[in-house]
A and B are shown apart, each in its own frame.
Chain A
Amino acid sequence: MPEVVVRPFPLKSPLRVLSSLRLTVVCLGLGMLLIFLGTLAQVHLGIHAVQARYFQSLIIFWSPPGASWKIPVLPGGYLLGTVLLVNLIAAHAVRFQLTKKKIGIILLHFGVILLLIGQLLTGLFARETQMRIDEGQTAGYSEAPREVELAVIDKIDPNFDQVVAIPEAVLTRGGTIQNPTLPFTLKIRQFMSNTHLAMRSQVAQARPSLATTGFGPNIVVEEAPRTVKDDERDLSAAYVEVNGVQDSLGTWLVSNAIPDAQPFTINGRTYELVMRQRRFYKQFALTLLDFTHDQYAGTDIPKNFSSRVRLVDLERNENREVLISMNDPLRYRGFTFYQSGFDNNDKTTILQVVKNPAMLLPYIACGLVAAGLLAQFSMHLFGFVRKRAR
């Protein structure tokens, strides 16, 4: 007769729920539903918004068009993943014993746990950026294709520029920005994620601009919804007021659509304001020596692209030539440089720069799962063979 263990733990029933197979099935079912709905939603939202809203979220909310309220409708990817993770761990804690016979199952499950954790880490910490280099040019930074920053550049040093880079997340919050290295504050009067810009001379009846100086007063800005298309880029814009100790120096319009830096002088020191794609500087630089691109004979279909680059890293005394091609990325200092595109009549290369601290986890996880399956099935097989031999 099975022994009933009565534990003095009030946690027993929540633990039973957490470790139940039913919860696993429910989570997997919801996961399938989530993937299905997420795939459909890509039509209207685009892949990036869907990833953020469906998969990198705890709860998915729905609100009817035009309404200000919203209701939760489905658990998001992070919540499902976390519940599955907890479920798996709890199941092990409650049900499984660490015996030789179960080694396959345990390895397999540990692999799955690692896969879940790896995915969470990737979602949280991986970053994909782009590096564009023209032939003969050297680039020491990559850019985020979907995120802007406001750079305030101090040009006083003859050899160096000191840059204060304010990321989009801070601009979105608005308010006043203060930085100990700057003798002034910046007031974000308005930030717009996506806009249409037009020259004021082209628009007959436009609202007066918030901008008082720089190129801003000549430009009419209309806010637009964020683009959902993969091949489009948001043209963000902001009105930024620079305030000295006593008074305002004026309000500038900045936009990543207009790469011109706008100078202003305070206490005899000149600074520049520019909005640009968010930059990530590296401790090394790449120079594009040559970009080549072959086509299949008689067509315009690209057969291969490759970039011959020189990698220079003064810190590590590295100075070598590298060939980056479609299936042969450059891996260096935790970054992977993939050949992603080209432009400008084959004179510019576009490299996808991926940094993912959890890059190895899926490989290890799959290895563990494979080992677990192998162990489990071999044990069955050997047992079966032995039985027949008898």
Chain B
Amino acid sequence: MKSPFFLRPPFLAPATAAAALLLGAGCNRSDERITVYRIPKETPSMPPQAGPRSAAPAAVHWTAPAGWAEQPASDFRKGSYFVTDADGKKADVSVISFPEAAGGLLANVNRWRDQLKLPPITNVVEAGTPMEVAGRDLFFVELVSEAPLSPDGSKSRILGGIFPAGAETWFFKMIGPDALVASQREVFKQFLQSVHPAEGEAAAGSAHPTMSANSGGSDTNAPTPPPIEAAQGAPVQYTLPPGWQTKPLSPMRLASFKATAPNGKETDISVVALPGIAGGDLQNVNRWRGQVQLAPIDEETLAKSAEHVQANGHDFLLVDLVSEQPLKGEKQRILAAILDEKQQSWFIKMTGEDAAVASQKSAFTDFLRGLKIP
């Protein structure tokens, strides 16, 4: 008599192997095990953490032109300057560095374009020109906004230099009113020409914990958050109108929400506080008008057109701006409130599609009434 099929030779060996494999697959894999081992002492690759973050040894040196007023460097800024013209208009110069390629040339040029409300580009060749600095390539970028974004109602201009040096990429940027920045072009280029990597420190990082994986090269995740000087404010308290949801905070926002309108479109609500008058009401309103491509207005027109909302003893200036043309495929609306109080300016702003923002207007004023400014 023949033996049953599963005991016949052609079946037996592979079947056993397959069964063993499948069983093996279910067993505890080495991925799950805690291992203990001894290794020869390693020389520490990182110095022990310094106490307060002292100024990091800059791996790149530069010489600031005469007439630029140096500002204190911050966590992100390795260098910071103000350039002021005869009318008192200011342009801001910053020097920052990110580990590795910081997302790449194109991403960073597009980040700057975004700051000027310019659409992203895909071809890096359009973005600027390479220039040779200290025997290396520095990428020079010049961008002008289409809309008036400057506090003085003029367009904004960026002059930038992107300089890969060792393990870091350095960003030199001047941003300010169009005419002022344009007049500084040659000065800025000379400034870029003065940039050179420090001898022997090209790879030195910053003293505070480096926000990058210790290895893996370009495998690091996304650049660190952009440098933004956030106001150090006490927490704000508020009552959340029905239908609003909180959103993750970004460095600038003290509170962040979204609301979905009956038409299904989402609006974005932000609460931001900045020190001082932050440019003043008119300049901020005109900045927002620029965002919805409306012409700038003067003080008088603002005084006539703006509403006021009284809430909790605060006097909010409320503006409601609708774009004349469809932007991004649909009309956009900005509903914003400004409050100047206690040496701070508070900006509460809702943006989104026209009808969606309109449907949330009463919720927005309710929100202002429920807001407790510390």
| Chain A bound to chain B | yes
A162 to B249, CA, bound (A): 41
**A25-33, A34-42, A201-209, A287-295: which lies at the interface:** A201-209
Looking at the assembled complex, report how far the CB atom of B249 sits from the nearest CB atom of chain A, in whole angstroms: 6
Question: Chain A 186-230 against B: per-residue CB contact (8 Å), 1 yes, 0 no?
Answer: 000000001011110111111000000001000100100001000
- Offer 12 A-B interface pairs, CB within 8 angstroms, sorted by A: A89-B11, A92-B11, A96-B10, A98-B9, A121-B21, A159-B40, A161-B38, A164-B36, A202-B228, A205-B253, A205-B255, A343-B217
A338 to B130, CA, bound (A): 34
Looking at the complex, which one of A86, A121, A145, A197 makes contact with B216 (CB distance below 8 Å)? A145
In the assembled complex, which residues on chain A have CB atoms less than 8 Å from the CB atom of B41?
155, 158-161
A131 to B232, CA, bound (A): 43
Q: Is B76 an interface residue (CB 8 A)?
A: yes
Question: Chain A 230-266 against B: per-residue CB contact (8 Å), 1 yes, 0 no?
Answer: 0111110000000000000000000011111100000
Q: Is B273 an interface residue (CB 8 A)?
A: yes
Assuming A85-B18, A203-B251, A344-B203, is B38 touching A260 (CB within 8 A)?
no
Q: Is A174 an interface residue (CB 8 A)?
A: no
Q: Is B84 an interface residue (CB 8 A)?
A: no
Assuming A169-B31, A179-B34, A344-B167, is B252 touching A204 (CB within 8 A)?
yes
The answer to whether A163 touches B18 (Cβ under 8 A) is no
- When C-beta atoms are compared, the residue in chain A nearest to B33 turns out to be A167
Looking at the assembled complex, report how far the CB atom of B261 sits from the nearest CB atom of chain A, in whole angstroms: 19
A82 to B26, CA, bound (A): 14
Assuming A15-B5, A233-B213, A257-B213, is B249 touching A205 (CB within 8 A)?
yes
In the assembled complex, which residues on chain A have CB atoms less than 8 Å from the CB atom of B212?
257
- Give 16 A-B pairs besides A93-B5, A205-B255 with Cβ atoms closer than 8 angstroms: A89-B14, A143-B216, A160-B38, A162-B37, A162-B38, A167-B32, A194-B221, A198-B224, A198-B251, A203-B230, A203-B251, A205-B253, A231-B219, A232-B222, A260-B46, A343-B218
In the assembled complex, which residues on chain A have CB atoms less than 8 Å from the CB atom of B216?
130, 132, 143, 145, 233, 277
A15 to B236, CA, bound (A): 71
A199 to B74, CA, bound (A): 12
A259 to B45, CA, bound (A): 9
- When C-beta atoms are compared, the residue in chain B nearest to A229 turns out to be B221
A212 to B186, CA, bound (A): 50
- When C-beta atoms are compared, the residue in chain B nearest to A219 turns out to be B209
Q: Is A181 an interface residue (CB 8 A)?
A: yes
A336 to B218, CA, bound (A): 23
Looking at the complex, which one of A124, A169, A344 makes contact with B24 (CB distance below 8 Å)? A124
A202 to B211, CA, bound (A): 14
Looking at the assembled complex, report how far the CB atom of B9 sits from the nearest CB atom of chain A, in whole angstroms: 8
Q: Is A9 an interface residue (CB 8 A)?
A: yes
Question: Chain B 209-242 against A: per-residue CB contact (8 Å), 1 yes, 0 no?
Answer: 1111111111111101101101111011000000
Q: Is A21 an interface residue (CB 8 A)?
A: no
The answer to whether B18 touches A117 (Cβ under 8 A) is yes
A375 to B356, CA, bound (A): 74
Looking at the complex, which one of B31, B36, B48, B209 makes contact with A181 (CB distance below 8 Å)? B36
The answer to whether A235 touches B213 (Cβ under 8 A) is yes
The answer to whether B39 touches A281 (Cβ under 8 A) is yes
Q: Is B22 an interface residue (CB 8 A)?
A: yes
The answer to whether A204 touches B254 (Cβ under 8 A) is yes
The answer to whether A341 touches B32 (Cβ under 8 A) is no
